[in-house]
Amino acid sequence: MKMRKILSLLLAASAVAASAAGIAGCANRAPAVIDTEAIMSIDDPENYVYPEQITLRIPVYDRGQTGQAPVTDNYWTDYVQKEFGDKHNIKVEYIAIPRQGEVTKFNQLMAGKVSRQPDILFHYDYPQCITYAKSGAFQEINEEMLAKFAPDYYESTKDLDEYTYVNGEKVFLPGTRPRAYNFITVIRKDWVEQCGFAVPDSSVNWELSQDEYDNILKTISAKKPGGPNTIALGFSLPNANFGNNGYRNYPISAHDWALFADLSVCSLPWEPTYEQIKYNNNLVNMGVVSNEWYLDKDGSTARQNFSAGIQGVHGFYLTKESAEISALLQNQPNAKLSLTPTILNPDENGNQIIKGARADNPFGLMSGINVHCTHPEAVYMYFEWMYDNLLTMQNGLEGVTYNMQQVEGGEIPVLIDGYTGEERLNYNANKDMWCIVTEGRDYGSDQLNIQAQVYTYAPAGFEYLIEENYERIKDNDHYNYIDFLFDRSIDSLTDYGSTLLNDWQIMATDMFNCAPAELDAKYQKYCQQYLKDGYQVILDEKEAAYEDMKANGNLPDPLPEGIISDEEAAQMYGGDGNQPCIQLEGADAQAAEKEAEKDA
């Protein structure tokens, strides 16, 4: 297919209307009137019964999993009503929120009648939560009330307090995030062996150079062990979160960390992004990815190809219900999997160059209380009940859906495989109900937690994937760092985010697919267009916010491992210590500067 036709397809797809990232209906409606004095006069919140029934409307993710009970009406929603709602005379209503398109759904709900709005809103993306707050969607968290009505939850999240403020006002209720080891990238071990390469019994010891790994991919594409439609590497249309950690300086300057480490917009003009684009261009030109990778906008085609047994490398979250593995084994019962090899990065002297990776935020799901909610204390009570009942909500009923099992270091609950009775857990062990308070299971020690994750996430026969992933990660985890978190909203991300995502996906398709000799000219041209279309304004706003935080002592202190001060970076790398970023040129640069001044 010619490039012009490819770009036309993408332009047509991007023309579908999208809702604004902010929340509608908040700024032009009065916030709820809350009788704080009356609420705080309640003596025993744990046993308090409302004299007149109130309704608490709780959103819950709907992932569209086939064969599952409705997320708003099942055994466990009934359980919450009986054990929590009936106890306090609260009617608990659940609202389905599609995991894909959640911002649009929340926007629709908040634009409707107040009586039908959810009492909380949530998101995993911190900048999106900032945008919600900026839109006026949240009421301020009364910390004294929170501590009284949710003491256990409040105590568990004290370490996350610094992330709950926007412009000096506490507005977020964070979920904790125990370390998880179930995101994996696997390769068909049987294919690698069929192609004549050795794979060690444990992937912990599998280390290759980039060239050696690329040679395996090329050989798989040439020998086609999966049949005539074999695809070596799963590859999809990139989103705003375009990883480039492998090409960043380590350690990185605080300045570059603030300006470019961002999930919500691609840092196209930054040197590490160019290097990653160049490598992706190489992958396409090697012929190791699908010829129509750019049509896979959400990764679903890559997932289907792996499940069908025609794709060699795939990254996904491992769960007991992992459709990828179950479908793969149905199609190819003898398929064998290994984690992909660790890629070595030697310098000219043979010493390994340290490359950090993106770490998850220290918090999980971030929630806020609807500005129109008249009973914030009921929200706190719900969070407290959910936190105190995690054993049941995560595992079900002992002897029915799980048994306690003695393991090294103590006891852990182990789910009973294949249970199909009415008490069966919802998708992923009810996670979309309890993720408001925590992102995973935590039994107090790494020793117990890793064993629990093996039993919880790994399908039978694939426990080694979790175990080996843990062994790999634990020795290098300290090199990884989270994205920079501003202490204020970066409004230009909302203003230009959709336009730049559209730009980026069209540009990436062209740059990945073009001949290598054409890449540099295309990259330079696209960088100027990208900067002109709003990225320069984003950089200017981030720069101003960063310098203000730096001047007022509001940067993290100490800086995370892998981040150094600008002064240290200048001494280490020379110049200003930052990696190059293409600048907007000529009259366009002047226009962007005026736009930034206007926004300020």
Are residues 44 and 156 both part of a single domain? yes
Q: Which of 372, 393, 414 represents a domain boundary (last residue)? A: 393
pTM: 0.83
Are residues 35 and 127 both part of a single domain? yes
Rounded to 5°, angle at Cα 286 from 285 and 292: 60
Contact of 468 with 456, CB cutoff 8 Å: no
Q: Is the pLDDT of residue 338 over 90?
A: yes
Are residues 162 and 46 both part of a single domain? yes
The pLDDT value given to residue 104: 92
Residue 242 lies in a domain: yes
Are residues 155 and 262 both part of a single domain? no
Are residues 280 and 156 both part of a single domain? no
Give the mean model confidence (pLDDT) for residues 42-52. Answer: 97
Residue 90 lies in a domain: yes
Residue 59 lies in a domain: yes
CATH code of 144's domain: 3.40.190.10
The pLDDT value given to residue 35: 94
Residue 527's CB is within 10 A of a number of other CB atoms, namely: 22
How many domains, in total, are found in the chain? 2
Tell me how far CA of residue 334 lies from CA of 146, 191, 195, 309, in angstroms.
54, 11, 16, 11
Are residues 68 and 148 both part of a single domain? yes
Are residues 272 and 387 both part of a single domain? no
Contact of 384 with 506, CB cutoff 8 Å: no
The pLDDT value given to residue 19: 40
Are residues 34 and 108 both part of a single domain? yes
3-state secondary structure of 513: helix
Residue 542 lies in a domain: yes
The pLDDT value given to residue 384: 98
Are residues 56 and 152 both part of a single domain? yes
Give the mean model confidence (pLDDT) for residues 381-389. Answer: 98
Give the mean model confidence (pLDDT) for residues 400-423. Answer: 93
Residue 4 lies in a domain: no
Closest by Cα among 540, 543, 531, 528 to 594 = 540
Give the model's confidence band at 488: pLDDT under 50 very low, under 70 low, under 90 confident, else very high. Answer: confident
**What span, in angstroms and rounded, lies between the C-alpha atoms of 136 and 131?**
9
Are residues 43 and 165 both part of a single domain? yes
Q: Which domain holds residue 576?
A: 238-288+490-600
Residue 458 lies in a domain: no
Residue 350's CB is within 10 A of a number of other CB atoms, namely: 7
Give the mean model confidence (pLDDT) for residues 465-494. Answer: 90
Q: Which of 355, 372, 393 represents a domain boundary (last residue)? A: 393
The pLDDT value given to residue 22: 61
- Expressed in angstroms, the distance from the first to the final Cα of the chain is 45
pLDDT digits (tens, 9 = 90+) for 354-374: 888 899 999 999 999 999 999
Are residues 29 and 169 both part of a single domain? yes
Are residues 249 and 384 both part of a single domain? no
Residue 254 lies in a domain: yes
Q: Which of 378, 393, 408 represents a domain boundary (last residue)? A: 393
Residue 520 lies in a domain: yes
pLDDT digits (tens, 9 = 90+) for 555-579: 999 999 999 999 999 999 999 999 9
3-state secondary structure of 432: helix
